[in-house]
Structure 1
Amino acid sequence: MAATEQAAPFIDTFAPGADEQWRQRVEVALKGAPLQKLVARTYDGFDIQPLYARATGKPRAFRAEREWAVSARVDHPEADAANALALTDLENGANGLHLAFVGSVGAYGFGLPDAAALAPALANVHLDAGLRLVLDLPAEADAFIAAWLDLVAARNYDPAKIDVSFGLDPIGASIVQGEVVDWEVAGPKLAQQAALLASKGFTSDLVAADGRVVHAAGGSPAQELAFAVASGVAYLRALEAAGVDLDDARKMIEFRLAADADEFLTLAKFRALRRLWAGIESACGLEAAPLRLHGETAWRMMTRRDPWVNLLRSTVAVFSAGLGGANSICVLPFTQALGLPDAFARRLARNTQAVLLEESNLGKVADPAAGSGGVEALTDALVERGYALFQEIEQAGGLARVLESGVFQAEVAKIAIERLKNVARRKEPLTGASEFPDIHEKPVSVLKPAPAAVALGAKALAPHRLSEPFETLRDRAEAAEQRPAIFLANLGPVAAFTSRATFAKNFFEAGGIEALGNDGFADATALAEAYQASGAKLAVLCSSDAVYAEQGLDAAKALASVGGRIYLAGRPGEMEAQWREAGVADFIHVGGDLLTQLSEALSA
């Protein structure tokens, strides 16, 4: 090529595609099914389309720093042990610490016990060396303020050199325990606490408007956003009522959100919060400024079974929160649901972020999703829905009053129940729990086993994990004197039964019932003999519709003659009465209530 010649842009190699062309090809691929089949519906009531055009003219969701801080979780109940773990984290890639105390929003079974643990947990930690410190405190925070100020004074720190999010959150920390604050008392007290810290030189990130409590209770993204913004407004009003200038008051408020494995909704949620709060600032007569936003990988998505999959979920969550504009992120170690994570689990939690930051360079661009049609559309929808819910809270008298009435908790519960129904039917699959379970998984180590759940107040936004119902079934199966088993009654050639046999294996092993596989049988007699020889008390007939039509009823009768409970893999259609007359007790298929059917199988 001559020096004066210029290569044509690579994009010119391909002819531009039109929306209509795409639709025509999709219609062919769908084989007559409507295009609506590709449209997803969110729990907040808006649609997610399969294709979006490029978005232009949208506001960017800038964060204050270019890279987020890698915050290591500190929750060991023994302060000296917590300190040793924290120092290891800081020596190996973390540049932040997230201290979770018992009774706080982020205490998932464990936590530092009390204010007396603050100083020893931070022994030999140089708080003025650029470290980001996030405190997760219970509702009653006076003792923690005193302990913090004593620590700062004892070490002769310059407050201006300490980057700390103090986390005063009386509303969130109370409701997670089922208690509702008396805002007439709690509001002025919060302002007094903030004033005390400000008088000592701590003037920013004193108060936490925390939406994680809603996410952990099963709420929707818009509900989480509305709760966080309503908290922020309540705290802003309390500070202003105490004489704090609005511009100073907003700097005292930091936000916290949960990040889960729904990549695009998480990314959009973090972006939406910045736009929502910018709107609040404008309504207050302030020029919008970047807020401080701390993200934590979601408790709700963690599983006890096949916990290694939690590493993948957390990676997606960090990716989404980081690109969505989080200033700091804490990754729950992959064994958090099993117990107190050890050094290995903590190392993986750190390195999840280190790879994304240091090797993938995800923190180098501010708001990289800007202009993406899909992300912008989701952000717009969450801003609109989140603000509408926030307005409902305000019209009802503010967040504290709405929580006192129980209305907000009831709305969160509706979403949580709907979500759990979808989990039960695998419309919302959980890899390793409801999908592709490993019933012979090897145990992983933890420092301490998870404590038993404690009873919470009736009005609590109680945290739970989506996989808990499946874990209960697995526990039932393993508590039996002998693990329950189901015989895969594979009928016909391999090509005929493989698909449904695989489905049945995953179906029953999600409840801890071992599937006994084989290479298939040519006739009903051989099938029944193999079932009897297996010793199983359950059997599931697996084959194609064509084989069912020719041999299915005879095979079902032969299996039923052996005894036990007989299932059919597939929908019964118009032959349900005939199948049941032949001895089939139940039918397993996509969309069935997995939890109910597995519970019945374990009771058979």
Structure 2
Amino acid sequence: MSNQSMDAATPTFNEFPPTPYEEWRKAIDKILKGAPFEKRLITKTYEDIDLQPMYRQEDIEGLPHLNGLPGFTPYLRGATPMGYAASSWDVAQEMPYSTPAAFNAALKADLERGQNAVNIVLDRPTLAGVDADQAEADDVGKGGLSISSVADLAAALDGVDLEKTPIYIQASTSALTFTALLAALVKQQGKSLDKVRGAIGMDPLGQLARDGRLPRDLDGIYEVMAQLAAWAKSNAPQLRTITVQGHPYHNGGATTTQELAFALATAVDYLRALQARGLSIDDAAPRFRFALSIGSNFFMEIARLRAARVLWAKIIQAFGGNEESQKMRLHARTSAWNQTVYDPHVNLLRATTEAFSGAVGGCDSLHISPFDELLRVPDEFARRVARNTHTVLREESHVTKTVDPAGGSWYVENLTDAVARKTWGIFQEIEKQGGMAKALEAGWPQNQVADTASKRAANIAKRKDIFVGTNMYPNMKETRIEPAPVDAWAVQNERKEALKAVRAKASGNKQAALDTLAKGGANTVESAISAAAAGATLGEIAQAARTNAKPGPTINSIRAERGAQAFERLRQVTESFAARTGQPPQVFLATMGPLTQHKGRADFTTAFLGVGGFETIYPSGFDTPDAAAQAALASNAKAVVICSTDATYPDIVPMLAQTLKKANPDVTVLLAGYPAEHVEAFKAAGVDDFIHLAANCQSLLTTLQKKMGVAQ
């Protein structure tokens, strides 16, 4: 075929003229048949952002930063020119093991199989600066690693080359003591501190928001923060000393914009504190790392990470920082708030979409939650699946082959701008209140998060927000994953023995080093390192460093509760009843008429009740109300649901409900559906409540548990 004939046969875009938006709207309005477009097709998010059903080029006209390139301020498209094409994100899986030996075994195994960074989560005593042999047994190793000495840290990191493997430690107000332990270990191993990269996460305001208290005054904490930042600049330039965490707010139910705004406002408080103590903005900003939780709103999270880089660059620019200082270092963690105890394998899917958001959004390091994280210390299988999710995203999805893969999308670019503007508005409100510390003291962030959490809870209760396997689509044949029993006394005894050996080997210089540390001064970090090297324990170093500390502030903390917990409690109450009585509570379905008449609502009702762990008795169908009533009463079920169609209900419901109530006044009678014009008449006949799409499932099932004697 000649080129001429090929050209003649090849269609061009001019042959397909674009359809004007107005014509599309006319077609949509015709389909909607008078229903309002705004209510049916525009989605309003918790961030108060309206998501359109379709985006056009007009939606990005005039947006700032669209012409920016990766590696150039304001870093919308990433902080490096080549993005993941040059270097992928750090696979920084948390290792929530209690003892150094258990932690090290898991870490070694995973570093050989795809993990390339150490991510240490500490238990509460360690975070509080309390040695394991001085803590309550139940707290030692609970939720994280127990570390009390350089020897402990050496055992936990045995076989890890700290010059080559980045290390992230969520240390909060124990940052000084942990820096001392880490620096002493590096020197002990003959390694170079200036090659150690990662972060020791100091975040006192995040800890205050989470716990409601701090172990010492903020001024004293900020003094330590400034000394750590200055020490790191001179001695460990690749080690960040401040990790601003959004997790406390996210875990309380905050919106993506609230979490980001609170993190940015927190960072600004820290910047001002460091400047007041003599650090320049270009000395301080490179010491920061941000850690955000990634929720299930896929595009919202991508937009949020892109917006975060722009806003941080804007803040640092306003402080006078150079372009290098404007780069945000960003760690992402898949959501803990979204995870569920029931049907936990669904957590695999949640974490996968959340991790994909983090990767597309351009995080620098990432933790993907194992599916059994809520139930137990993750086993090898759960760790492997989570770890391999990183590998699939990196090696099979090709997301790393494109720099800023979402860039240019009309939807994502518009949403990025909307998220940035909403976040900035919240940030400015905090600035008006005098900064994050004062806002927390006044309770403003707590109230904002509580308000969002309340809205979420209302939608979850009505199943407008869905948790698959928990408040919708329950798996009634699920085999529960039971957590392995933990012998708290054995864990603490193991830790006590380790500490006993450390104390016995301590150098004679230990007390002198601790005394020097207790005096304070400009060399606090070096004094703490000397004490650690001499054999001082974490608790001893912390106690010496706080010798002249004033009492810390107390506030109302952010109330952390996962979205699914209310429904999980419902299910747990029912399971306790089943354990006591030998079977789940049963509800009889009065299925009226042939299968086609009752099946839809009977199936819906079975799933609706299954959310609370109720079992349904599901007959084939009854011809008369009397036959249905007799079968229901004979079943001894304490609740009956009438299932049929709205058209047949007027002939069925009054007689059936009255017969049931007359024979057994204590029986609960429910109706599948909500025939609005007959509701009052049916209530008068004996119907107690209605099971339907708009019902408050949580409230109805709670009431049913009480009426049926399921709840004690």
Partner of 1:111: 144
The alpha-carbon deviation at position 210 of structure 1 amounts to 1.4
For residues 206-252 of structure 1, what are the alpha-carbon distances to aligned partners after superposition, in whole Å with 9 as ceiling and x for unaligned?
21121121101111111101111112212222222332232232111
Give the one of 312, 316, 333 matched to 2:370: 333
- Check conservation: 1:139, 1:169, Cα contact below 8 A: yes
Aligned partners of 1:417 and 1:92: how far apart in 2? 42
For residues 545-594 of structure 1, what are the alpha-carbon distances to aligned partners after superposition, in whole Å with 9 as ceiling and x for unaligned?
11213433333334444531110111141322221222211112222221
Bigger-Rg structure (1/2): 2
2:33 is aligned with 1:43: no
Partner of 2:656: 555
Within 5 Å, give how 1:396-415 maps onto structure 2. 396-415=433-452
Comparing 89-98 and 63-72, the one that deviates more: 63-72
2:366 is aligned with 1:265: no
Partner of 1:518: 619
Aligned partners of 1:450 and 1:416: how far apart in 2? 35
Comparing 41-50 and 429-438, the one that deviates more: 41-50
Distance 1:391 1:450, change over 3 A: farther
Q: TM-score when scaled to structure 2?
A: 0.79
- Check conservation: 2:154, 2:185, Cα contact below 8 A: yes
The alpha-carbon deviation at position 430 of structure 1 amounts to 0.9
Runs of 4+ aligned residues of structure 1 deviating over 4 Å after TM superposition are 3-15, 445-451
Aligned partners of 2:294 and 2:645: how far apart in 1? 42
The alignment partner of 1:339 has SS state of: coil
Amino acid at match of 1:459: N
Partner of 2:397: 360
Within 5 Å, give how 1:574-593 maps onto structure 2. 574-593=677-696
Partner of 2:521: none
Q: TM-score when scaled to structure 1?
A: 0.93
Aligned partners of 1:133 and 1:148: how far apart in 2? 10
Within 5 Å, give how 1:42-191 maps onto structure 2. 42-54=45-57, 55=60, 58=66, 59=68, 60-64=76-80, 65-66=83-84, 67-103=88-124, 110-116=143-149, 117-129=152-164, 131-179=165-213, 182-191=217-226
Distance 1:549 1:445, change over 3 A: same
Aligned partners of 2:487 and 2:591: how far apart in 1? 41
Amino acid at match of 1:61: R
For residues 1-48 of structure 1, what are the alpha-carbon distances to aligned partners after superposition, in whole Å with 9 as ceiling and x for unaligned?
446746847867865333223323322333331111221112222322
Comparing 35-44 and 518-527, the one that deviates more: 518-527
The alignment partner of 2:373 has SS state of: coil
Amino acid at match of 2:122: F
- Check conservation: 1:572, 1:579, Cα contact below 8 A: no
Give the total of aligned pairs: 598
Within 5 Å, give how 1:390-429 maps onto structure 2. 390-429=427-466
Distance 1:522 1:46, change over 3 A: same
Partner of 2:470: 433
The alpha-carbon deviation at position 449 of structure 1 amounts to 7.0
Question: Which 5+ residue runs of structure 2 have no aligned equivalent?
Answer: 69-75, 129-139, 489-552, 708-712
For residues 138-157 of structure 1, what are the alpha-carbon distances to aligned partners after superposition, in whole Å with 9 as ceiling and x for unaligned?
32322211111112112222
For residues 273-303 of structure 1, what are the alpha-carbon distances to aligned partners after superposition, in whole Å with 9 as ceiling and x for unaligned?
1111111122122344431100001110010
Aligned partners of 1:504 and 1:457: how far apart in 2? 47
- Check conservation: 1:338, 1:450, Cα contact below 8 A: no
Give the one of 488, 491, 512 matched to 2:592: 491
The alpha-carbon deviation at position 311 of structure 1 amounts to 0.7
Amino acid at match of 2:378: P
Within 5 Å, give how 1:467-506 maps onto structure 2. 467-480=564-577, 481=581, 482-506=583-607
For residues 419-446 of structure 1, what are the alpha-carbon distances to aligned partners after superposition, in whole Å with 9 as ceiling and x for unaligned?
1111111111111110001132112254
- Check conservation: 2:334, 2:355, Cα contact below 8 A: yes
Partner of 1:381: 418
Aligned partners of 1:9 and 1:166: how far apart in 2? 60
Give the one of 246, 262, 269 matched to 1:227: 262
The alignment partner of 2:93 has SS state of: strand
- Check conservation: 2:196, 2:238, Cα contact below 8 A: no
Aligned partners of 2:352 and 2:663: how far apart in 1? 49
Distance 1:259 1:52, change over 3 A: same
The alignment partner of 1:497 has SS state of: helix
Aligned partners of 1:266 and 1:534: how far apart in 2? 50
The alignment partner of 2:647 has SS state of: helix
Partner of 1:25: 27
For residues 128-147 of structure 1, what are the alpha-carbon distances to aligned partners after superposition, in whole Å with 9 as ceiling and x for unaligned?
33x33221113232221111
Aligned partners of 1:171 and 1:268: how far apart in 2? 25
Comparing 343-352 and 200-209, the one that deviates more: 200-209
Give the one of 240, 244, 247 matched to 1:209: 244
- Check conservation: 2:49, 2:418, Cα contact below 8 A: yes
The alignment partner of 2:118 has SS state of: strand
The alignment partner of 1:77 has SS state of: coil
The alpha-carbon deviation at position 174 of structure 1 amounts to 2.8
Distance 1:15 1:491, change over 3 A: farther
- Check conservation: 1:102, 1:138, Cα contact below 8 A: no
The alignment partner of 1:577 has SS state of: helix
